[in-house]
Structures are given as C-alpha cells and as structure tokens.
Amino acid sequence: MSRPSSFVPTPDQDVLDIKPLRTLSPMFPAPLGVNTFNQPSSPGTPPMVFVTTAGQFPGLRSFSAFGAQDAAGGRPASSNAQATGFGGQSAVYGGKTAANGTSNAGASADVPIDATPISVCKPTPPPTNAGASAGTPIYATPLAAYKPKTPNVIQLDDDDDDNDDDDYAVNQTSASGRAIKRPYRLSGYRTSGGLGSDSNSGVKIKRHKSSNRMAGTDHEFTLEPHSSSDPREVVEEVLMTFEALRRRHLQLDEAQETGKRADLKASAIMNAKNLRANAGRRIGGVPGVEIGDIFYFRMELSIIGLHAPSMAGIDYMTATFGDRDDDSVAICIVAAGVYENDDDATDTLVYSGSGGNNRNNEDMHDQKLERGNLALERSLSRKNVIRVVRGYKDPGCLAGKIYMYDGLYKIHESWKERTRAGINCFKYKLVREPGQPEGFAIWKMSRKWVANPDTRGNVLHPDLSSGAEYLPVCLVNDVNSEKGPGLFTYISEVKYLKPLSSLKPLQGCRCVSACLPTDSTCGCSQCNGGNLPYSSTGLLVCRKPMIYECGESCLCSVNCRNRVTQKGAKIHFEVFRTENRGWGLRSWDPIRAGSFICEYVGEVIDDEKFSLDDSKDDYLFQTVCPGRKTLKWNYGPELIGEQSANVSPDTFEPLPIKISAKKMGNISRFMNHSCAPNAFWQPVQFDHGDDGHPHIMFFALKHIPPMTELTYDYGEIGADSSGIGSPRAKSCLCGSSNCRGYFC
DNA sequence: GGCTACTCATATGC
DNA sequence: CGCATATGAGTAGC
C-alpha cells in the first residue's frame, strides 16, 4: 500500500485527527521522503488562479471565498475531527441492534429489558445423545462438556491478561489441515486451453492437494519468482489477481450472456492454484491486512485469510489453551451492516448470533448455542481479540456492499433477546481495542462530508476547480498554516497544440443506442481486441497499450457503456497538505479497483520544441515505464490459459506525448509518486485518432479506502542504465518495502 | 489414524 | 425475491 505521506505520528496528536488510514501501520515507519513537487508559495501571495472551463476567472469570488474560509477557519491544525463527535462510548443497545428486536427500542444505553445473560440461560438438557443424528444441535450440551473433535487443533499461550497481539501468536502443532476435495465446477465460461476441459459442461478444476497448506507458517504462497516476502505485498498480489480474474470472467460472461458470480469463479481458480494468503486460522491481526482496508466481496476476505467462511458471519477455530480443554473461539466476524442507522458509535458494536431466521419465515426457531454462537460465547470468557469487518451498504452507491476491516475487538457481554418474530436471539457486545488506527470511524466521517461538505474542517477552499469538475474539489490543510499550493490555472481539459479537428479522426462504430458485449460486430469492440474494455459498472477490465472509447463518430448514445473516462471524474476529491511531500490528492469516496479516477490534464508540449528547461518541469507527464506492480495489473488471463496482456519493461514502448501541468492543470497534478502506487495511467482515445497523443487516464490499481492518498508510479527513466543520473531523477522515500529509491 | 464422501449450516451476490 | 452456491464443521465409513 502506498504510504500516505501526510502523517508522522506524534504523541500530542489526537487519535481522531483526520489522517490517511494507513499511516499507523506498524510495519512501516512514517515516510521521510521529500519531493519537490510543489512550488513554494509564500503566505502573502494569492495561491492560485481559479479558472473555469470557459476561461480564466478573475478570481474575485474565489479569493474572497478563500479569505473568508481562512478567517472563519482559524482552527488549529489537526483538531478538526472532534467536532464530528464520534468515538463516544455510547452503547449500541436497543432498537438498532435488532431489526427484529422492537421490544427494546426504548431501552437506552442499558441492557435490554428482556435480555438475559447467556451464562444464566440454562440450556435444555441434552437429548439422549446416543443416536444423535448429524443434525442434533449441540445446544443441549453443557459448555464445559463440549469438546469438538476437529483435527485443526491450534495451541495458544494460555495467558490472556495482556492485550498484546503477541499473546495470541499461534503455534500450529497439529495441523493436519485436511483439505476438502471437491471439484470446482465453473460452468458457463470458456477457456482457450490451460485448465480447460469440456466447455459445455463447465470446467472442472481440482483443488490443489494442499498437504502443506496448514503447515509451517504464513506464506507458502508464491505467485511467481518476483513475489515478495512482505506480507502486505503478498496480500495485495492475491487481491489483484483475484480482481483481474473476476473482471475477465465478468467480461466473458457478459459476452456470452451466460453465467453469473464471477467472484466465485475467480476464487475457485485462486483456490485451485493455491493462490491465497495467510492460510490457516489465527487469533489477532492478519499479516498484510491493515485496518481500513476495503473489500467488495466476501471471497476477498476469504482468500487473504481474514475471514474464511464465504457466507457465514462468524469465523472461529478450535484452540488449545495451555493444558485446558480444547475450545472453540471466535476469531473474526463480519457485521453485515444492514441495521446500520445514524449510529455514530464506531468503537462498539452489537452483533447478533447466527441462525434461527430461516427464509420464508418457515422453520423459525430459537438460535442455538452452537458453532459460531458458541465460539463467541467462549470468546467472551477467553477474552480473546476478534477481528471485525464492517459491512456497509451505501444507499447512494450502485455497487453492493463494501466491507472494511476495522481491527480488533473484544466481547464485553452477551445476552439473549427475543426478536419481533418471537425467536430467541443471541447478542454480543463488542468493544474496539484501544490504540488502533481508525478504520470505520474515518469511513463514517467521510460519508458525512460527502453528505454535507460543510462539516469538513480545515477547509482552505471549497472548490479548487470553481465548478470545472463534476464535483467540487476541496482544498484542505490539516497539517500546517500553508494557504495553498503554488499558482496555477485550473483547467478541465487537455490543451492540444492543434485543434482537434485537424487531428486524425477516430473510427467509430455503428451500434444503435448502445454497444453491447454480445455484439462482436461492434467496431469499437474490435478496436479493443474483441471485447468492450469496461464492465457494465464502468470498471476497466484490463490494462492495455490503448483503450478506444466510443466517440463522436459512433452512432451509439452517450449512455453507451464504452464511454467512461470522457464523462469526467465523479469522485469527491480533496487536495490536501501532506506532511512532507507538498500537496497531495485523496478521495472521500472509496474507489474500487479498475475505477476511472481522473485524467492528466495540462498543456501538450511540442516534442520538437522540448527543451532542457521543460525537462526540469516537475509537472511534466511522460509515458515512462512504470514498475512491476502497474505492469502486472492484468495478471489473471495467464491463469485461465489466455495469452498474457502484460507488457514487460523490455517491450514497453513510450509514447511521444508530453503533458505539462505546471501552469495549468487539474487535480491530477497533485498526485504524488509512490513505488507502491494505488493508481496507474492508461492511454485512452475518444475524440481523435492520433495514437501518439492520447488522453492519459488514471485508474485505481486496487481498492482504495477513503482518505488514502492517491499515487501512481512515475516510472524510472533509463531503468537499464542510470536513472539516478537523469536530470529529473529525484530520490524517493515513499516508504514502501520495494521502494526503488528514486523516480523521475 | 488417515483418508474420502457425505450432510448440514450459513447468507451472499446477482 | 429467488436461486445457486463456497466454505468449513461435523459425521460415517473404509
């Protein structure tokens, strides 16, 4: 993950200060790097010229707004979050906790009226268990007597006084890890070799014989020789591969109007090839997974070892505590978030046990103290930490649910509650362990800002673009007293040297209304290698030397799905003062991998007149070969037997285009470099056919949580010889584990 | 004990 | 709203 540059933790800083999510990662020290991206701006001078698309704006309105904000602001830096008032100790009891639990709606901050501590609940006496069928509930068994026979026995230090994670270092002694052999049936997609067999009846993939999957320690996962030993890298690689596979499957499915659940297909392949991280179970944090990480599928949680079950909300394991009996303890829960209201409590959570509410209202029955519920109950007495993943259904968001890892919690109490439907339901109150970086709290906060930008503190200007962008671009400084970046003119479109009309036109398609993935005759689809380059939700499927969107010469409408980047960015950006890298760009919205972020806007520089002076331009964009991570974004086709679409540094061919955003540009001029970036550039054509001078569009390399700095790999000039000697080379201290040390 | 094969529980994602 | 289904626990049997 890119190291957001803006945070050097200091003792006096408020924990709730608005900071990027990742900065407190224990794995990486705070970045020390400084680059010279932003011109220094003296406090007295107007910081910039605000310009609309129509032309240069006199700036009167802007400047006065600027001053007003400034005066009104006047808050000390790094103290803006308190006003939002989350993190309180408010209890989450009552109405919210149970969609079905109306009886408690009025019970405020106290144990619900009809709540009974589970310890008081007397389980019904065990049925004569001799001939107990498989379905016999264990509910009846007294806890102490309950001794699961699962072979996955893991020993723990029997020492639960301390909060330290190390206490839960897991020694896997006997871990047979019996793999369930089950053919993975991938119906409805065709492979062109590789794993393929019998595409009519679906492809069967045998799961890897994984005798060593549970053995040893963490990372037997290797994708390829380059693969990192850094757990963070491994996790990101797994997720990137999953996403690449999923997008490609989606594309194939759409083309054939068949199949669904590309997420399941992708994970089937991942599992078949044993491409997963952190196999096995553990109490406490998962290596390479950081608080604030976001996910879009339950499968993603599963393949990185964060939460193994693909559907169930409670992940648990059997462990041996010292010389005591084996015990099942909960290790991770996914709080679905369907009962989410305006509850501001971000450090407590009331979780409902599982079971009982069968579909169709038939067969409703009391929840039983077994499996996950039992594990939670045992975790209450064991006091072990439990990972919490918060699910959040954004009403305004078309995509389904987003999951965010919110760190470690402990169960503080449990009780039984009668739901509206009349069944007994277990409730568990979880409290977030102190001292962890904020996760869900930042999420909630940024949602609030999106709903009402006025609630964002430390604002220097409400819209840097003065309306030129689809959404306002907030300028903020949580760090120091600097008033803004150096002077520049905000424009929203690239300034070409020649009028577009004089450029070679782009060939269009003759699709009526909209280009369809099933239509192989679509000219634009053919230009893109036979498929539409974007998914139906607008995600880029694959990184390519060039993407051709539909344009003016096409007959299709503006609603055609092959028009994505030309419509502009639709993200709530903010330009913010980083701690040590000048100004940077980040987003209030979560950004899903493959999403369009923004275009590199500036003045196209004439290749012939390119001078030494220009080469010192810090805002010059050139198509320099980026690092491995960016090049590998497509990794996935190889896994399903397709030809690799990847470009290697050897075959990379730069384009002649050079864009300078020094004097005029847009938000993308604030994107800093990182050797572990979360965005990449992609050439796109839609309004002209000069392939040497395409639009440079940025897409998300991975899921980007809100408030994480957006970065891309500036690349290295003369990678083969000496990038360091290059006139533009700057030393890089992005802080990532694979930092190259310099960039251009 | 090691292993396979089966059932069951879960609720997601489309 | 219905449907197909991945994962893992648990059980039975060889």
Cβ of A302 less than 7 A from strand C:
yes
Which nucleotide has the shortest C1'-to-CA distance from A186? C5
Among A138-142, A258-262, A459-463, the range scoring the smallest mean pLDDT is: A138-142
The two structure tokens encoding residue A77: 């830096």
Task: Give residue A32's pLDDT.
Answer: 29
Does the nearest atom of strand C lie within 7 Å of A328's Cβ? yes
What is the rounded distance in angstroms from the CA atom of residue A551 to the CA atom of residue A695? 13
A178 strand B contact, CB < 7 Å: yes
* pLDDT score, position A162: 36
Q: What is the DSSP string of A712-738?
A: E----TTSSS-TTTSTT-EE-----TT
Query: Which nucleotides of chain B are near protein (any atom < 7 Å from a CB)?
Result: 2-14
Residue A357 has what pLDDT?
A: 65
Q: For strand C, list residues 127-146 of chain A whose Cβ lies within 7 Å of it.
A: 132-134, 138
CB proximity list for A434: less than 8 A, separation 6 or greater: none
Distance CA A218, CA A280 (A): 8
**Rounded-to-integer distance, Cα A416 and Cα A400, Å:** 31
A170-213 residue pLDDT tens: 333 222 233 333 333 333 232 222 333 333 333 333 333 333 33
* Mean pLDDT within A520-537: 91
DSSP letter at A398 equals S
Task: Give every CB contact of residue A326 below 8 A, 6+ residues apart in sequence.
Answer: A147, A148, A153, A318, A319, A320
**Quick one: pLDDT at residue A227?**
60
- For residue A482, the model assigns a pLDDT of 95
DSSP string, A118-131: TTTPPPPPPP--TT
Region A530-540: what's the mean pLDDT? 91
Segment A682-708 shows an average pLDDT of: 95
Q: Is the pLDDT of residue A710 over 60?
A: yes
Q: Is the CB of A209 under 7 A from strand C?
A: no
Does residue A107 lie within 7 Å of nucleic acid chain C, judged by its CB?
no
Percent of residues, chain A, with pLDDT higher than 70: 63
Distance A309 CA to C11 C1' (A): 20
Helix (H, G, I), strand (E, B) or coil at A185: strand
Specify the pLDDT at position A578.
Answer: 95
Strands (E) located in A381-451: 386-393, 401-418, 424-432
pLDDT of residue A46: 38
**Model confidence at A322: pLDDT above 50:** yes
- List the single protein residue with the shortest CA to C1' distance from C9: A150
pLDDT in tens, A491-502: 999 999 988 888
pTM, full prediction: 0.73
Taken in order A644, A649, A653, A656, the sign of the CA dihedral is positive
Asked if the model's pLDDT at residue A49 lies above 60, the reply is no
pLDDT tops 80 at residue A657: yes
For the residues A419-429, what does the mean pLDDT come to? Answer: 84
Predicted pLDDT at A704: 96
pLDDT value at position A635? Answer: 66
Please give the nucleotide, over all strands, whose C1' is closest to the CA of residue A185: C5
CA pair distance A33, A27, nearest whole angstrom:
17
Segment A54-61 shows an average pLDDT of 32
Q: Residue A478 pLDDT more than 70?
A: yes
Query: Which pLDDT band, with edges at 50, 70 and 90, does A637 fall under?
Result: low
- Is residue A397 very low, low, confident or very high in pLDDT (cuts 50, 70, 90)? low
A413 backbone dihedrals φ, ψ, rounded to 5°:
-160, 165
User: Which letter, b or e, does each residue of A375-399 get, where b requires 16 or more Cβ atoms within 10 Å of its Cβ?
Assistant: bbbbbbebebbbbbbbbbebeeeee
Nucleotide nearest to A263 (CA to C1'): B13
Q: Is the pLDDT of residue A301 over 90?
A: yes
Contact (CB, 8 A) for A437 and A292 = yes
CA of A178 to C1' of B3 (A): 9
pLDDT surpassing 60 at residue A338: no
Instruction: State mean pLDDT over A356-362.
Output: 58
Q: Is the model's pLDDT at A379 over the cut of 80?
A: yes
3-state secondary structure of A225: coil
Tell me the pLDDT of chain A averaged across its residues.
Answer: 71
Residue A119 pLDDT grade (very low, low, confident, very high; cuts 50, 70, 90): very low
**pLDDT band at A273; cut points 50, 70, 90:** confident
Distance in angstroms: CA A181, C1' B4? 8
Query: How crowded is residue A673: how many other Cβ atoms within 10 Å of its Cβ?
Result: 21
With cut-offs at 50, 70 and 90, classify the pLDDT of residue A363: low
Average pLDDT over residues A597-602: 97
The CA distance from A196 to A409, in Å, is 44
Whether A666 sits with its Cβ under 7 A from any strand C atom: the answer reads: no
Q: What angle (nearest 5°) sits at the alpha carbon of residue A496, between those of residues A494 and A498?
A: 155
Residues A714 and A630: their CA atoms lie apart, in Å, by: 11
* pLDDT for res A730: 80
Which nucleotide is nearest, taking the CA of residue A403 and each C1'? B12
Read off the pLDDT band of A337 (50, 70, 90).
low
Does A167 score more than 70 pLDDT? no
Specify the nucleotide whose C1' lies closest to residue A260 (CA). Answer: B14
C-alpha pair distances (Å), A346 with each of A112, A400, A741 = 20, 21, 38
pLDDT at A663: 94
Q: Which pLDDT band holds residue A168 (cuts at 50, 70, 90)?
A: very low
Q: Which nucleotides of C are covered by protein (CB under 7 A)?
A: 2, 5-12
Residue A183 is predicted with a pLDDT of 35
Residue A57 has pLDDT above 50, yes or no: no
Tokens of A399: 């995509």
pLDDT at A214 over 60: no
pLDDT at position A232 over 50: yes
- Of the candidates A591, A572, A607, A552, the residue with the CA atom closest to the CA atom of residue A712: A591
Tell me which of A285 and A27 has the higher pLDDT. A285
Nearest protein residue to B4's C1' (by CA)? A181
Token pair in block for residue A528: 């893109």
Assess contact for A254 and A517: CB atoms under 8 A.
yes
Distances, alpha carbon A214 to alpha carbons A276, A279, A314, A372, A704, in Å: 12, 6, 20, 21, 30
Is any atom of strand B within 7 angstroms of residue A523's beta carbon? no
DSSP A499-552: -GGGSPPPP----SSS--TT-TT-HHHHHTTSS-SB-TTS-B----S-EE---T
pLDDT above 90 (res A744): no
Instruction: Determine the distance between A183 (CA) and B4 (C1') in angstroms.
Output: 13
- Residue A175, pLDDT score: 27
Residue A716 token pair = 């290295």
Q: Are A348 and A93 in contact (CB under 8 A)?
A: no
The predicted pLDDT at position A412 comes to 95
CA quadruple A682, A685, A689, A694: dihedral positive or negative? negative
Q: Per-residue confidence at A645, pLDDT binned at 50, 70, 90?
A: low
The pLDDT value recorded for residue A323 is 54
State the pLDDT at residue A569. Answer: 86
Highest-confidence segment of A37-51, A134-148, A311-325: A311-325
Per DSSP, the three-state class of A244 is: helix
Q: Band of the pLDDT at A577, cuts 50, 70, 90? A: very high
CA–C1' A135–B8 (A): 7
Distance (Å) from CA A248 to C1' B13?
A: 17
Whether the beta carbon of A309 falls within 7 A of nucleic chain B: the reply is yes
